[in-house]
Amino acid sequence: MKDKSTAEIKSELKEAFSRDIKAVVFTGGEPTIRKDLISNVAFAKELGYELIQVQTNGRMFASKKFTNSIVEAGMTEFSPALNGHIPELHDYLSQVPGAWKQTVAGIKNVREYPDIRIMTNTVMVKPNYRVAKHIAELLVKLGVNQYQLAFVHPAGRAWTDFDSLVPFISMAAPYIHLGLQVGIDAGITTMAEAIPFCHMKDYEKQVSELCIPPADVYESGFKTREWEKWRKTEGKWKGESCKPCKFYQVCEGPWKEYVERRGSSEFTPVPGKPVTESELLE
């Protein structure tokens, strides 16, 4: 798949801003490998974007010079991925020796800029879900503003290596709850993504899908102005068996690929009066 040119990115930034969109996320792949990232961030700031987030593996931010440059350019939110509480685990999952050290250094460097919001994402897979609590403890220690524990989307490598990477949701959820509780106790925002409400008892308010804003997605070869609709109609699964659940109207369900490989027997309707989104967000 061909990467977008700088001109294409700037054109899309202009087009989105013309529709009164004021927030942009630079993601990938890995956006920091592009030599034009800082100039694109600066261009977004020049246009008037109010929120400019960079989703990244965080390794380039181990450089204080790079960190200062992108902050000066206009980055307002930093969203690195930390998938292990120790170097051996994170480096194994990233397949890059030294990656953990660089990502942790990057978080520390960005933390020197108190106005930058740090929002981490940790993908929960077989090798790390049992230590979700320890990962959360590290994130709190590093001073992040928010962290998300995201159940792996069985696509790409996770589809090819499904049996070695994708845990059962029913087995992973209790450990993820422990990880969420660390942040709750510390008074910071915590979320879990792609885990249906039937496996989020007592942590329903931490379901991230409740808070994901409407978004346009501009990928090379793919564009949608209705990401939320795509997730609900194309990306996720909800079956007839889910309809009696009190969370049916607010739940997106698991990723479709998960059900394709594992079936739907793990997902049991929760009895009770239908719950609304506004009730959960109170």
The answer to whether residue 274 sits within a structural domain is no
Q: What is the pLDDT of residue 221?
A: 57
For residues 241-270, average pLDDT:
97
Q: What is the pLDDT of residue 211?
A: 86
In the chain, the percentage of residues whose pLDDT exceeds 70 is 94
Q: What is the pLDDT of residue 269?
A: 97
Q: What is the average pLDDT value for the chain, to the nearest integer?
A: 94
For residues 20-46, average pLDDT:
94
The larger pLDDT score, comparing residue 246 to residue 219, is at 246
Q: What is the pLDDT of residue 93?
A: 96
The answer to whether residue 268 sits within a structural domain is no
Domain assignment of residue 162, given as a range: 6-233
Q: What is the pLDDT of residue 218?
A: 65
Where residue 223 falls among pLDDT bands split at 50, 70, 90? low
- pLDDT greater than 90 at residue 168: yes
- Contact indicator for 238, 252 with CB cutoff of 8 Å: yes
Rounded-to-integer distance, Cα 215 and Cα 197, Å: 23
C-alpha closest to that of 147 among 139, 159, 137, 158: 139
Conformational region of residue 149, where left means phi above 0, alpha means psi within -120 to 50, and beta covers everything else: beta
Number of domains in the chain: 1
The answer to whether residue 153 sits within a structural domain is yes
Q: What CATH number has the domain bearing residue 53?
A: 3.20.20.70
- pLDDT greater than 80 at residue 116: yes
pLDDT digits (tens, 9 = 90+) for 143-157: 999 999 999 999 999
The answer to whether residue 44 sits within a structural domain is yes
- What pTM, to 2 d.p., does this model score? 0.92
Q: What is the pLDDT of residue 251?
A: 96
Question: What SS3 state is found at 41?
Answer: helix
C-alpha closest to that of 150 among 98, 217, 82, 92: 82
- pLDDT greater than 60 at residue 225: no
C-alpha closest to that of 90 among 117, 116, 121: 121
Q: What is the pLDDT of residue 4?
A: 86
Q: What is the pLDDT of residue 28?
A: 83
- pLDDT greater than 80 at residue 229: no
The answer to whether residue 281 sits within a structural domain is no
The answer to whether residue 239 sits within a structural domain is no
The answer to whether residue 48 sits within a structural domain is yes
For residues 178-182, average pLDDT:
98
Where residue 215 falls among pLDDT bands split at 50, 70, 90? low
**Which pair of tokens denotes residue 236?**
């996720």
Where residue 114 falls among pLDDT bands split at 50, 70, 90? very high
Q: What is the pLDDT of residue 219?
A: 63
- pLDDT greater than 70 at residue 226: no
pLDDT digits (tens, 9 = 90+) for 48-94: 999 999 999 999 999 999 999 999 999 999 999 999 999 999 999 99
- Contact indicator for 131, 176 with CB cutoff of 8 Å: no
Q: What is the pLDDT of residue 176?
A: 98
- What is 84-106 written as a DSSP string? -SSHHHHHHHHT-TTHHHHHHHH
Q: What is the pLDDT of residue 232?
A: 83
The answer to whether residue 59 sits within a structural domain is yes
Instruction: Determine the length of the chain.
Output: 282
